[in-house]
Amino acid sequence: MADKAYAAAPESELQNNAKRFSPPSGRHSGVFSLLFRLWRLSARMDMLWLLRDTRTCLLVMTSDLIGNAAGMAGILLLSARFDGIGGMSQDQVLFMLGYAACIDGLFMLFFGMVNTGYISRVIGRGQLDHMLIQPVPLPVQLLTAGFIPFSGSSLLICGLGVTGYAAARLDMWGNPTWVLGMGINLAASVAVILAFSYIIGSSAFYAPVAGEEVSSAAIAFFDVTKRFPLGGLPLPMQVVFCTVLPAGLVAWLPTARLMNLPAAGLPAFFLVLSALVLGTIATFVFRKGLKQYAKYGSQRYSDHGHRR
């Protein structure tokens, strides 16, 4: 169907699009310029959605906030009850929960639309075809198509507010160098979750029906586990939960290090290193899956466009 639509478009229009969105070869500035143009385009579409369907949009924002607040509240209540948990004081727990909300907010902001974060859905549903016919490199599309700065920013704003408040209570603003560390760690945390989603989600190239929702399971793993402060566990368990079962990798480890607390005996750059390693593995696995896709394509849609 998409092929037909593509074929039906005037040739001059396709050529214009190709000129506008294809980066000049060999020029990195061209790629960045393209990225920013597409982010702007996604932002405009998001704004249009907000203006056109304000009620639904506000409902989405509210439900995201309520869902996240409920997730935070459990740990926060425990922390209040026991005057801190997992080797952290109440304010330190609050800082960690704010950081976790920032991760969710950033993920939502950059990968919250058209399932660019939940890649197994795109692959499993055969929707990668829609991207492959666009005159824009696939990585650029995956980085830009999910950008929703208006409808998807509420969680990030809330997370930043909570983190800032906790930082003030912990007197961290006296030496604001932690902000830089937090920025780097946040990017690494999101990269780890995204890489995890892409590594697991690439199984949908080989089993589109069975694998359609595996990225959701991968991301849900971090949703469910990342808010637990693990400082009270024996050291070997802390290491296990930061490596093999990475429940503490994306939020507990970086925040503990930002607050100069010991965390599984791992260095501060461990998260960044993990992000780089997992990112490399994800790229390799995804590219391998794409080769499989190029051979066999997707069988999910019938001739009438219904999903099998």
Partner 1 sequence: MKSPQPGFTKNPRSGLSSRLRAYAATGRLCATQAFDGGILNVLGSWLLRLVALIVQLAVWKSLLRQGADTDGLTVSQVLSYIALTSMLAEQLNIVSPASMSFWEGTLANRYTRPLSVVLQLMAETIGRWLPHLLFYSIPILLITPLLGVDMRPAGWPAALFFLCSLSLGISLGFAMDLIFAALAVYIRNAGWMALIIRNAFFTLFSGALIPFRLLPWGLGDIFRLLPFGSLANAPLALYTGMGDPGPMILLQCFWNLVLWPVAIMVYRHSEERMVAYGG
Residue numbers of the site for partner 1 (CB under 8 A)?
56, 59-60, 62-64, 66-67, 69-71, 73-74, 77-78, 80-82, 85-86, 200, 203, 207, 209-214, 217-218, 220-221, 224-225, 228-230, 232-234, 237, 241, 245, 247
Closest contact distance (angstroms) between CB of 101 and partner 1 is 14
First to last CA, the chain: 15
Closest contact distance (angstroms) between CB of 276 and partner 1 is 24
Closest contact distance (angstroms) between CB of 124 and partner 1 is 9
Closest contact distance (angstroms) between CB of 35 and partner 1 is 29
CB count in 10 Å sphere of residue 23: 17
SS3 call for 106? helix
SS3 call for 301? strand
Angle made by CA atoms 9, 14, 17, in degrees to the nearest 5: 135
Query: What is the distance between the alpha carbons of residues 63 and 289, in angstroms, rounded to a whole number?
Result: 35
Query: What is the distance between the alpha carbons of residues 88 and 55, in angstroms, rounded to a whole number?
Result: 40
Residue 184 is encoded by which pair of tokens? Answer: 């780097």
Closer Cβ to partner 1, 144 or 189, answer by number: 189
Closer Cβ to partner 1, 5 or 224, answer by number: 224
Closest contact distance (angstroms) between CB of 130 and partner 1 is 19
Query: What is the distance between the alpha carbons of residues 308 and 210, in angstroms, rounded to a whole number?
Result: 12
Q: Single out the residue of 269, 277, 290 nearest to residue 204, CA to CA.
A: 290
Evaluate whether 133 touches 162 at the Cβ level (below 8 Å).
no
Closer Cβ to partner 1, 33 or 299, answer by number: 299
Closer Cβ to partner 1, 115 or 144, answer by number: 115
Closer Cβ to partner 1, 93 or 272, answer by number: 93
Closest contact distance (angstroms) between CB of 272 and partner 1 is 23
Closer Cβ to partner 1, 85 or 195, answer by number: 85
